[in-house]
Amino acid sequence: MQQSRFFQWGLRLGSAGVLLLLGVIISGIAAPNPLFSVLTLSGIVLCGTGVLLFGISWLQTMIQALRSRDYKRALLLLLGAALILLPDLLRR
């Protein structure tokens, strides 16, 4: 199965964000340094964008499964999302 462009871009952007954050951690840049603010903010934004694109990719896969009447796949996708989101929802 070929992955969507949203999934590919989400993976790339998320990886770039994690690498930026690891670079900040390894370099030891501290809070007063403006480079710290710029790099951490951009790393967090890239990670957030990657997660958003993963969500869009998941939604596309869900719609595709429903349109092709592959209800078993759609149910597995919903179950996977529930397992990921349920602990946070129950904690509140």
pLDDT for 2 equals 66
pLDDT in tens, 2-21: 678 888 999 999 999 999 99
How does residue 1 score in pLDDT terms, banded at 50, 70 and 90? low
Long-range contacts of 2-9 (CB under 8 A, 24+ apart): 3/57, 4/57, 4/60, 4/61, 6/53, 6/54, 6/56, 6/57, 6/60, 7/53, 7/54, 7/57, 9/50, 9/53
Domain coordinates of the chain in residue numbers? 5-85
pLDDT for 79 equals 86
pLDDT in tens, 32-61: 888 888 999 999 999 999 999 988 988 888
**Residue 40, token pair as written in the block:** 């951490």
Q: What is the model's pTM? A: 0.75
pLDDT for 18 equals 94
Rounded mean pLDDT, 62-69? 86
